[in-house]
């Protein structure tokens, strides 16, 4: 006589189906000493809502013909989430985060706001999940659903990727040292700025402006790349290195 699922939340409320023979007219389904709530019954199955409980309990079905042999049902506590890393990423999603805690071994879903993703369980204390796309930049709650229930308490921040406008000035000597203002958007979490692949010192003036100093470069057009926690933006050939005069 199979039972499915054979595990559920300690708080009860799990819909359980028991299959077998001669189950018509079931009058009671016991989970240990507690009664479940029968919601459907045929000659070959009984559907019941589990009561609250703890540990492993025997499940029996009582009909006018007697009481069945017991089946095991395992009560599982709600998950506890201790941390999430990293805590932010692009609104397009696609990056992998790690969630740590306890009671994660039966995790079936992780929600980022209203968006759901299927996790990979590493152990009872850790899982990984690919972040789904967000609807907009900003912070959302993260919840983990297991056989023991759903637990909230963590947050994840979606960050828009940066954009780059035309730098001022747009040209300077190959020796570097030119102070350049880079306009754009999404600069608050800027991690690096490069000119032609060479890192440049910079200051984030605002979410829409970066002040940078050009490193030495080779004569010709150079790409400016701004990298933030929300991704990277490239100004293709946005800055031109000019060779100094020779006599």
185 and 215 inside one domain? yes
User: What range does the domain containing 189 cover?
Assistant: 163-242
Length, in residues, of the chain: 247
Closest by CA position to 101, among listed 54, 150, 134, 157: 150
220 and 187 inside one domain? yes
247 within a domain of the structure (yes/no): no
For 74-129, how does the pLDDT look when each residue is reduced to its tens digit (9 = 90+)? 998 888 878 999 998 888 899 999 999 998 989 999 999 999 999 999 999 999 99
212 within a domain of the structure (yes/no): yes
Q: Residue 45 belongs to a domain with what CATH number?
A: 2.60.40.10
For 184-212, how does the pLDDT look when each residue is reduced to its tens digit (9 = 90+)? 999 988 999 999 999 999 999 999 999 99
Alpha-carbon distance of 241 to 170, in angstroms, equals 9
Phi, psi (degrees; rounded to nearest 5) at 123: -165, 180
**What is the chain's alpha carbon radius of gyration, rounded to the nearest angstrom?**
30
As for how many domains the chain has, the answer is 3
Which of 139, 159, 179 marks a domain boundary? 159
153 and 201 inside one domain? no
Residue with structure tokens 């759903």?
150
204 and 186 inside one domain? yes
For residue 186, give Cα distances in angstroms to 18, 32, 181, 235.
55, 58, 15, 14
22 and 84 inside one domain? no
103 and 37 inside one domain? no
Burial letters for 27-39: b for 16+ Cβ neighbours within 10 Å, e otherwise?
eebbbbeeebeee
149 and 94 inside one domain? yes
Q: Which two structure tokens, joined as six digits, stand for 32?
A: 């240990």
154 and 105 inside one domain? yes
DSSP annotation of 104 reads -
Which of 130, 159, 188 marks a domain boundary? 159
228 and 173 inside one domain? yes
For residue 19, give Cα distances in angstroms to 26, 133, 217.
12, 40, 75
141 within a domain of the structure (yes/no): yes
- At 193 the three-state DSSP class reads strand
191 within a domain of the structure (yes/no): yes
Decide: pTM greater than 0.75.
no
Which of 53, 76, 99 marks a domain boundary? 76
87 within a domain of the structure (yes/no): yes
Contact assessment for residue 79 and residue 146, using Cβ atoms and an 8 Å cutoff: yes
139 and 178 inside one domain? no
Q: 149-159 and 88-90 as β-strands: parallel, antiparallel, unpaired?
A: parallel
**Bridge partner residues of 100 (DSSP):** 83, 126
Contact assessment for residue 179 and residue 218, using Cβ atoms and an 8 Å cutoff: no
**Confidence check: pLDDT of 54 > 70:** yes
Contact assessment for residue 29 and residue 9, using Cβ atoms and an 8 Å cutoff: no
Q: How confident is the model at residue 1 (pLDDT cuts 50, 70, 90)?
A: low
């Amino acid at each position: 006589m199979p039972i499915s699922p054979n595990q559920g939340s300690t708080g009860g409320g799990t819909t359980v189906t028991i299959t077998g023979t001669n189950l018509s007219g079931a009058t009671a389904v016991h989970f240990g000493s507690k009664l479940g709530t029968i919601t459907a019954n045929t000659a070959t199955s009984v559907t019941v809502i589990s009561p609250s409980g703890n540990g492993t309990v025997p499940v029996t079905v009582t009909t006018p013909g007697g009481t069945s042999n017991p089946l095991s049902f395992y009560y599982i506590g709600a998950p506890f989430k201790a941390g999430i890393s990293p805590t932010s990423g692009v609104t397009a999603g696609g990056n992998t985060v790690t969630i740590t805690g306890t009671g994660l071994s039966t995790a079936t879903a992780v929600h980022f706001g209203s968006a759901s993703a299927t996790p990979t369980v590493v152990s009872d204390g850790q899982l990984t999940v690919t972040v789904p796309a967000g609807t907009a930049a900003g912070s959302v709650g993260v919840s983990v659903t297991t056989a023991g229930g759903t637990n909230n308490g963590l947050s994840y921040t979606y960050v828009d990727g940066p954009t780059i406008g035309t730098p001022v000035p747009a040209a300077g000597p190959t020796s570097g040292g030119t102070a350049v203002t880079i306009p754009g958007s999404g600069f608050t979490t800027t991690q690096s700025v490069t000119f032609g692949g060479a890192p440049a010192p910079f200051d984030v003036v605002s979410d829409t402006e970066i002040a940078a100093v050009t490193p030495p470069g080779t004569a010709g057009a150079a790409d400016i790349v701004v990298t933030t926690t929300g991704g990277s933006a490239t100004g293709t050939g946005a800055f031109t290195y000019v060779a100094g005069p020779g006599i």
